[in-house]
Each structure stands twice: as C-alpha cells, then as structure tokens.
Amino acid sequence: MAEGKIAGLYDLERTLGKGHFAVVKLARHVFTGQRVAVKVIDKSKLAGEAAGQLLQEVRCMKLVQHPNVVRLYEVIDTHAKLYLILELGDGGDMFDHIMRHEGGLAEPRAKHYFAQIVHAISYCHKLHVVHRDLKPENVVFFQEQGVVKLTDFGFSNRFQPGKMLTTSCGSLAYSAPEILLGDEYDAPAVDIWSLGVILYMLVCGQPPFQEANDSETLTMIMDCRYTVPPHVSAQCSDLISRMLQRDPRQRASLEQIEGHAWLQGGDPSPASRCLLPLTSHKRVSQEEHEIIIQAMTCGHIADRDTIQEALEADRYNHITATYFLLAERMLREKQEEQSRRQSLLYDLAKQGQSRTDLSDTFGPGDGTGGRQPVAEVAGGSQPSSGRQPPRVLLKAPTIDTAITKSTPALQQICEEEEEEEEEECRPGVMERKSSSLNQEQMRDFLRAGARRPPCRGEVLGWGAE
C-alpha cells in the first residue's frame, strides 16, 4: 500500500474515508509516534462558496474546544491542499455501533451516549456555533477515554441569536423540514431536530424517516410521520416527540432537553472529568511543561521562546500540535500508572480480607496469623521497604536533523492515494444516509423528485450563507 509523508511531519497510512472534496487518512505523528486522523481537502475541487465554508469549518473547530468534540491539533495550508490534523477515535462511529444492536440499544446505554451529544451541542450553541450535520456517522467513539465525540464540522457556522440562516445543507434523513424546504430557519432548532433523529435511532435501531426512495422519505419528514416501537419507554418517547416537532417554534430547547425526566439520573458529561484531550498548556504542571519543552528543543522542533510564543498565541501549527501530543501521552501514562496502583491496592485489600477471614476461621497456626509480607503477596522479590525507581514518563526520540516543511511533499499526498473499491449499497441493510445537499441541489431535488437513495459516503456539495 502506498504511503506518503506530510513534509516529514506525519507518516500517512491507510484511508479511513473518502468524499468528493476530502480524504481522511490514518497517520502517525513522526516525532511523538502518536496516531492522528488527517483530513486532506483538495482546494482545487472547491468553488468559491465552498472554499469559504471550508474556512468556516476551521474557524468553528478552533472555537469549539470541548471534551465531547474531536480535537483539532494543526492546520497545514498550501496552495492546492488543506490538511486538518485531528484527534483519532479508537472505537468507530455511532452508526456502525447502532447497526450491531438490532432493535436499538438498551435505554440506559442510549442515555449515556445521548447525554454527551446534547452536552456538546449545548456548548456549541452557547458559543453561537451550529453544527447542521448531526447524525450517528458524525459521532465517534473513544473507548480509551470512555466517551463519544462530535466530528465533521464541514457544515457548521456562526449564528446570531434571533437571526435566521438560509443555507440548505446536511443529510436528508436527519434534516429538519424547514431546511429541506429551503426556508429561512432558526439555527439551534435544526440541530435539535437532528438530535431527535439520533435519539430515535439509538433506541429503535433505525431512522424514524426512511423509505424505499428519497421522495417518500421527504414526504414522511414533511408530515412528521413516524412510529415509536412499543419497547421504548413512555419518557423516552416523549422526549423524542418534543424534538421531532414540525414547527421549529414548538421544539424543545436544549435546556428543556437537559432537564427532561428521561435524562435524569445519568452522568451528563463523563468527559468533563477526563484530562484528555488537552485544550490549554496551562493544564499541565510546571514540571511536566519543562519536560515537554526539553524534549521538543532536543528534537529540533523549535527553541524554547518560539514554543512558548506559539502556546500563548494559541496557534494551530506543528509546534503546538507536537506539544499537546506529548503532553497527552504524558498524562495518559500517568493515568495508566494511577489505574495500576488502584488495581494493586484493591487486589491487596481483597487478599488481606481473605486472609483475615481464614484467620478468624482456623485461628493462628504458626504465630504469624497466616500473614505474609506485602512484597511477597504482590509477587515481587524486593524487600518490602524498597522503593521502585521513578519511571521515565517521556523520552524524546533521537533526531539528528531539524524537521522542516516541504510544500512539494504536501502537494503530493493526494497523488499517492491507493485505489479503493467503492462500497456498494447492501440490500436488506440500513444504508448510511450521508448525502449532503446544498441549496441549489435541494431545489432541484424538490422539483424533480428523488431518483435513487445515495450510497454510503456520497457527498453532493456545499451551499453558501
């Protein structure tokens, strides 16, 4: 399989996803060895309006830094390509997860995931950012962190409360009626409709509006016609109905959703206690900061002053990306060490309780009460008073030459893509409804009617505000 490099900074591996304008590749950060996702966008394929939307995606991702939103580490811009270096999920997307659970997920599990999505969207809306393409395909699992995160802000935009937007965009099965009609619309309301579709899919295992062809699906959406299976609880069904309201003024607000009875009792944001991903260098200790700075200077990433200036200015360049990837690796190792210690203490406590129970039952036999030195119980050969040497949390790889950017190497990345067979729509299995429609295409769609459902991953384009 062909591999490429982005100017010696990232080793590119297999393709994770592909659209008309962008390719998402798995990559490894050369200096830290950490894996990331690289979204490679061919700017030559974008019209002026679409290029403007692309810049809006970057602005929104820089603004929205939240534990339940995929982290943007770095932006590399060249004449022909734009490279977005993103946090890599390790558990696949929510669509595939739903497909593995016929009839939907158990409600406690669905509540656990849905609360996190709501928490992320609530944060976005408070910053006046609307996503406009919420769907299970854009919710990614991070198993190591134990959370789900929103991704793909390609249709996101800033909005002013009370001011309507006009762009018709998104994916048919998840789009609000007012977007499909090409009307002006209230930005938060369209995300809330999509949240209703996602919750329905979580507990039912299929979309509320999906027919044999897009024309029938469109009719169902316009009529707001769907059926909730009997196994769904009354409270959950009520919450779905409050979001899937034909009239956007009648839809529940995010405050009402978060306060709904069905969502009570769960953890609204388990990610809020997670240290990863880092969004500020001020969240690491001074000692850790010095270790990272030393590793970067020894590796010829940059000098101390340049690193500090990039962090203070909140830049999205290779300096800050390297800093945060190193810091996250350090924190991850610290968390793993703490977890091992807690596990050891728990095991020792259980063994101690077991020996106490035996001592109470049989009595002392050899004058020691059946107890052994702690070091022996743990299986170690060191004296119980001995100390383990401090473990090195971070080792900078040896690099003989400074890392430099090479524009020709950047431009070659898309030319080295491997050929892949297009995935066919499988009969009898729910398809990914991932087609993205701009305003002009939506008008054509409404006039001519749908002729076929789009295959998985098909992208039709962008509209303009």
d(Cα 57, Cα 288) in Å, to the nearest integer? 32
Residue 6, beta-bridge partner list: 10
Cβ atoms 87, 36 nearer than 8 A: yes
Task: Give the pair of three-digit tokens for residue 244.
Answer: 């899937």
**Whole-angstrom distance, CA of residue 410 vs CA of residue 70:** 23
Interacting residues of 258 by C-beta distance below 8 A, sequence separation 6+: 118, 119, 122, 268
Q: How far apart are CA 9 and CA 59, in angstroms?
A: 23
**Dist. CA 296–CA 29, nearest whole Å:** 13
Query: For this structure, is 267 an active site residue?
Result: no
| Cis bond upstream, residue 277 (ω within 30) | yes
Q: Is 92 left (phi over 0), alpha (psi -120 to 50) or beta?
A: left
Q: Among all chains, which residue has been given the structure tokens 């659209």?
A: 19
Q: Compute the CA torsion angle 49, 52, 58, 61 (nearest 10 deg).
A: -60
The answer to whether 67 and 116 are in contact (CB under 8 A) is no
> Per-residue b/e over 123-139, b at no fewer than 16 CB within 10 Å?
bbbeeebbbbbbbbbbb
Report the alpha-carbon distance of residue 352 to residue 365 in Å, rounded: 17
CA-closest candidate to residue 138, choices 180, 170, 177: 170
**DSSP-assigned letter for residue 370:** T
Q: CA–CA separation, 286 vs 296, rounded Å?
A: 15
Strands (E), 101-150: 129-130, 139-142, 147-150
Tokens of 349: 């406590």
CA–CA gap between residue 158 and residue 384 (Å, rounded): 60
**Is 67 in contact with 48 (CB distance < 8 Å)?**
no
Is 39 annotated as ligand-binding?
yes
DSSP code of 55? H
Active-site hit among 133, 152, 191, 214: 133
List C-alpha distances in Å: 403 to 7, 26, 319, 322, 395: 8, 21, 11, 12, 18
Please give the structure tokens belonging to residue 117: 């999505």
Active-site residue list? 133
Residue list, annotated binding site for ATP: 39
